[in-house]
Structure 1
Amino acid sequence: MRVIKESDLIDSIAEALQYISYYHPPDFIRAMAAAWEREENPGAKQAMAQILVNSRMCAMGRRPICQDTGTANVVIEVGAQARLELSGSLQDAVDEATRRAYQLDTNPLRASVVTDPFGTRKNSGDNTPAMLTTEIVAGDTVSVHVAAKGGGSENKAKFTVLNPSASIADWVVQTVETLGAGWCPPGILGIGVGGSADKAMKLAKASLNDPIDLHDLIRRGPSNRTEELRLEIAERVNALGIGAQGLGGLTTVLDVKIHSFPTHAASLPVGLIPNCAATRHVHFTLDGSGPARFEAPDLADWPEVLLDKAGANTRKLNLDDLNDEVVASLKPGQTILASGTLYTGRDAAHKRMVEMLDRGEELPVDLKGRAIYYVGPVDAVGDEVIGPAGPTTSTRMDKFTDQILGATGLKLMVGKAERGPVALEAIAKHKAAYLIAVGGAAYLVSKAIKDAKPIAFQDLGMEAIYELKVEDMPLTVAVDSEGNSIHKTGPAEWKRVPILA
């Protein structure tokens, strides 16, 4: 009987979490590069270029691909003939690995897990507990899948129970059309079909670890119903025209993965979980010979992509000289290189600011004529000014937008994905504007930040308010001062009739 030491398991999972924080899977890079080559919408193509450049920078610098370094998702399959030596529970061992990985001095990863989902939502500080799934399987080894799942894509998970005669493809396509861009497309759709409610979602999550092979499947053709369904869904979803970052374009999904399981005759459970442009996962097997070894991918897998910083639609914007006239001149889809002062503030900071305003208190920062960035950065290391600092999903701030704009005189907001009807109405009412940074390009974005200092709410950790000094920060105008949104006009322009219709 093979003996797998607890220390080997902990060391391997910890190293895997570090590894996937800065290395995209090579199959993802190849698929993204191919999508970038094919893309015809300049805005979407530039967004994918930023993702690819960011990925290469992270691989070289060994820093996180995205500021949301995710929850630790660990699936462990223990062979029935293997003996896994543990001093405590398996959860304890996996949590120790997670703790080590996320608190590593040379590459700290952002702790995002809160211990009380109902009330205080206090951060655990080390990203524990991990999301652990275990199973006893045949064999004498221990198989481990490690993934880091960000909140933006996880929040878009959906589940339904269809009538057995219903179309799975119809439900998936209709659902994806309602998800918006908060899951940071282009990415992967994981679909679980059958079993029970919990089984279907588990199948969907597991499918995201499969290799990307959509274009190989297109070339050889489907050989079973599952592959037919994958092709149909991929074609129909891409025909929606959502595109990279929701800007409109040819590619919304790089692949569609489906796992299925027998189910009740009266049921057709279907789970849907998207994976974002920060797809991060790795698999290893322990056989008792020591911890897993992870080989660095070949940098030749990354294409040489040059960012167009001086395109015809590019405009310089001074964040220290914002007024009604300047804001009114911003047009949806316009590429911006922003320089000047930019304040940070996301969910917790907005909630606290609104509470202060309700009590008639003065805010700790004057936002009149200023811009705010929805971000929770990774801690800096070495001589960094700030760690990877990509945008968070902006719709979570929608309910605060009208009051913040009206009470403070804030002029610009920067985040990712679309804004909802309430925010669009508030933006038009107060003649403000909303810009987006590329989700999945956090390290690249952080290089535009030349200075960063906390100025308020330091007890909120990564959600504290910082004053940033930025230089040529790449942004796209998403909503103008009249409330017109590129996330509506872009996909509408690129929507087409699918070939498989």
Structure 2
Amino acid sequence: MPAITEDDTISSIADALQFISYYHPRDFIRAMASAWETEKSPAAKDAIAQILVNSRMAALGHRPICQDTGVANITARIGVQAQLGWKRPLQEIVDDAVRLAYRNSDNPLRASVVADPFGERGNTRDNAPAMLHVEMVSGDRVTFDVSAKGGGSENKTRFAVLNPSASVADWVVETVETLGAGWCPPGILGIGIGGSVDKAMVMAKQALNEPIDVTALRETGPTTPEEELRLEIIERINALGIGAQGLGGVTTALDVKIRSFPTHAASLPVAMVPNCAATRHVSFTLDGNGPAQLEAPDLSDWPDLNIEDSWSNARRVDLDSLTRDGIAEWQPGETLLLSGKILTGRDAAHRRIQQLLAEGKTLPVDVRDRAIYYVGPVDPVGNEVVGPAGPTTSTRMDKYSDMMLDRLGVAVMVGKAERGDATIEAIARNKAAYLIAVGGAAYLVSQAIREAQVIAFEDLGMEAIHEFTLKDMPVTVAVDAKGNSVHRSGPLRWRK
């Protein structure tokens, strides 16, 4: 058996990270297509359609499905008889692969990893280091599970140590109901039960790489307690009515995956890790005979959808002539097509604005009566004016709402997921509005961006303030000028 080399390991992991940036797993495409066929909520059905169209576009264009190209999560299962030609620690080898993948000039991926997490949080600029987990298993080969986990779904991870007599299903369902839409449903839930604190979390995350098979499980029926629990949880979660993007609908989870392990008699650790509509993972095995060969999905795996038909009655909005009276006409759940100029800004830009105001300094851009889009785009390639540019979770900007709305006069905010009560009150107080773009449709959204330039805080990289010129960017009214929220009314309507 020839040795597994560092070069083959690096090139295989780098290829896998590129591969999953633009290819959804085949089982995920089919599960999402099935969800689209059965969805009864028009708003959720349109959101799922956008996700599927975006997925096919990304596959054809070899550009990221989502602008948040994620943190690299790598599990290595090393056979105890494997012949390894490695001279360095595996972490160093994997990190070299991450740098190679994320700096690929043909398809550069967004670097989201920051060093010094409790200090300056400076971006590493290459998305290294990876989150590496190593296991020793039987055999003479090495298997890698490679996934890219975005911040929106990762931030919704939850853990609890339950009473041994408590219901795991009750805890999961009650917890999902509190998550909001920041994890970009519909997606997958990975659940780890038992073990220790760290073991439960690892099991939950690794379970997300398992094939989606809940439809087959329903047909054959459960044969183990874990399978019974999976079916109970997914039925109860989908009955909550949260739906795609939290708009209200019949499908919130595409599957629930569970792994368990023996635990202490006094404990019942439970970890839950959601995977979003940009679910991205692939597995491969190295045996010393060269790098991995990855099989791409077939174009026939995607349904043939024309989402523009659903926008034929959408309201067209000129952002260059926004008025509060015009904004007052928008209705919750209504589809808008935005054209004109929009500013961008997310966490770091809002924090910088806050600092400048505290120091009594002049802001580099006037945001009064403007629209602002919460986005950190991928770098463009070729003839692109901007790379994939989907929304980030808006809840993180809630702490700045009074500053942006009351003090600076922002008229419209665009992001994803729900807003908090105080922000909704500020929106109504200022007769503003909050709109959502579909999380997981970043490449589709970027096609509506005709011009882009950085106009402030260039040192912040992807978090700099850009000005985009739009042509028919699809969004949904999530909070209207009166403070009515579709993230409240939608799930209530579809809850069983």
Q: Which residue is 1:406 aligned to?
A: 406
Task: Give the 3-state SS of the residue equivalent to 2:133 in structure 1.
Answer: strand
Q: Which residue is 2:182 aligned to?
A: 182
Asked if structure 2 preserves the Cα contact closer than 8 Å seen for 1:46 and 1:308, the reply is no
Q: Does 1:122 align with 2:122?
A: yes
One-letter amino acid of the structure 1 residue matched with residue 327 of structure 2? V
Q: Which residue is 1:10 aligned to?
A: 10
Alignment of 1:88-487 (within 5 A): 88-309=88-309, 311=311, 314-487=314-487
Tell me by how many angstroms 1:430 deviates.
1.4
Q: How many residues align?
A: 496
Farther-moved stretch of structure 1 (276-285 vs 350-359): 350-359
Asked if structure 2 preserves the Cα contact closer than 8 Å seen for 1:2 and 1:141, the reply is no
Distance 1:83 1:121 in 2: 39
Q: Does 1:68 align with 2:71?
A: no
Tell me by how many angstroms 1:313 deviates.
5.3
Distance 1:153 1:313 in 2: 32
Farther-moved stretch of structure 1 (82-91 vs 324-333): 82-91
One-letter amino acid of the structure 2 residue matched with residue 269 of structure 1? P
Q: Which residue is 1:80 aligned to?
A: 80
Q: Which residue is 2:491 aligned to?
A: 491
One-letter amino acid of the structure 2 residue matched with residue 279 of structure 1? T
Tell me by how many angstroms 1:331 deviates.
1.1
Asked if structure 1 preserves the Cα contact closer than 8 Å seen for 2:154 and 2:273, the reply is yes
Tell me by how many angstroms 1:264 deviates.
0.7
One-letter amino acid of the structure 2 residue matched with residue 121 of structure 1? R
Distance 1:313 1:160 in 2: 46
Task: Give the 3-state SS of the residue equivalent to 2:321 in structure 1.
Answer: coil
Farther-moved stretch of structure 1 (487-496 vs 418-427): 418-427
Distance 1:296 1:232 in 2: 33
Distance 1:308 1:331 in 2: 20
Distance 2:311 2:122 in 1: 44
Tell me by how many angstroms 1:404 deviates.
1.2
Structure 1 regions of 5+ residues with no counterpart? 497-501
Task: Give the 3-state SS of the residue equivalent to 2:145 in structure 1.
Answer: strand
- TM-score, length-scaled by structure 1: 0.98
Task: Give the 3-state SS of the residue equivalent to 2:320 in structure 1.
Answer: coil
Distance 2:99 2:242 in 1: 37
Distance 2:313 2:437 in 1: 16
Q: Which residue is 1:31 aligned to?
A: 31
Stretches of 4+ moved more than 6 A in 1?
none
Tell me by how many angstroms 1:310 deviates.
5.3
Distance 2:207 2:296 in 1: 24
Tell me by how many angstroms 1:312 deviates.
6.9
Q: Provide the identity percentage.
A: 66
Distance 1:451 1:351 in 2: 26
Q: Which residue is 1:56 aligned to?
A: 56
Q: Deviations over 1:443-477 (max 9, x none)?
A: 00000000000000000000000010000000000
Q: Which residue is 1:499 aligned to?
A: none
- TM-score, length-scaled by structure 2: 0.99
One-letter amino acid of the structure 1 residue matched with residue 351 of structure 2? K
Tell me by how many angstroms 1:368 deviates.
1.5
Tell me by how many angstroms 1:361 deviates.
1.9
Farther-moved stretch of structure 1 (357-366 vs 181-190): 357-366
Task: Give the 3-state SS of the residue equivalent to 1:278 in structure 2.
Answer: coil
Asked if structure 2 preserves the Cα contact closer than 8 Å seen for 1:402 and 1:427, the reply is no
Distance 2:484 2:338 in 1: 21
Distance 1:387 1:272 in 2: 32
Task: Give the 3-state SS of the residue equivalent to 1:128 in structure 2.
Answer: coil
Tell me by how many angstroms 1:392 deviates.
0.1
One-letter amino acid of the structure 1 residue matched with residue 142 of structure 2? V
Distance 1:51 1:99 in 2: 28
Structure 2 regions of 5+ residues with no counterpart? none
Tell me by how many angstroms 1:87 deviates.
2.4
Asked if structure 1 preserves the Cα contact closer than 8 Å seen for 2:191 and 2:207, the reply is yes
One-letter amino acid of the structure 1 residue matched with residue 486 of structure 2? I
Distance 1:20 1:65 in 2: 9
Task: Give the 3-state SS of the residue equivalent to 1:397 in structure 2.
Answer: helix
Task: Give the 3-state SS of the residue equivalent to 1:304 in structure 2.
Answer: coil
Tell me by how many angstroms 1:83 deviates.
2.2
Distance 1:489 1:310 in 2: 21
Distance 1:184 1:93 in 2: 32
One-letter amino acid of the structure 1 residue matched with residue 184 of structure 2? C
Distance 2:449 2:169 in 1: 43
Tell me by how many angstroms 1:360 deviates.
2.2
Asked if structure 1 preserves the Cα contact closer than 8 Å seen for 2:4 and 2:86, the reply is no
One-letter amino acid of the structure 2 residue matched with residue 50 of structure 1? Q
Tell me by how many angstroms 1:319 deviates.
0.5
TM-align CA RMSD: 0.9
Task: Give the 3-state SS of the residue equivalent to 2:190 in structure 1.
Answer: strand
Tell me by how many angstroms 1:90 deviates.
0.6
Tell me by how many angstroms 1:359 deviates.
2.1
Distance 2:281 2:395 in 1: 27
Asked if structure 1 preserves the Cα contact closer than 8 Å seen for 2:375 and 2:391, the reply is yes
Task: Give the 3-state SS of the residue equivalent to 1:190 in structure 2.
Answer: strand
Q: Deviations over 1:295-317 (max 9, x none)?
A: 22111001101104554751111
Q: Deviations over 1:142-176 (max 9, x none)?
A: 01000000000000000001111110000000000
Task: Give the 3-state SS of the residue equivalent to 2:330 in structure 1.
Answer: coil
Q: Deviations over 1:341-389 (max 9, x none)?
A: 0000000000111111222222111111110000000000000010000
Q: Does 1:22 align with 2:25?
A: no
Distance 1:343 1:68 in 2: 19
Distance 1:291 1:217 in 2: 34
Tell me by how many angstroms 1:15 deviates.
0.2
Asked if structure 1 preserves the Cα contact closer than 8 Å seen for 2:65 and 2:278, the reply is yes
One-letter amino acid of the structure 1 residue matched with residue 201 of structure 2? M
Q: Deviations over 1:276-332 (max 9, x none)?
A: 000000000001111001122111001101104554751111111111101111111
Asked if structure 2 preserves the Cα contact closer than 8 Å seen for 1:354 and 1:404, the reply is no
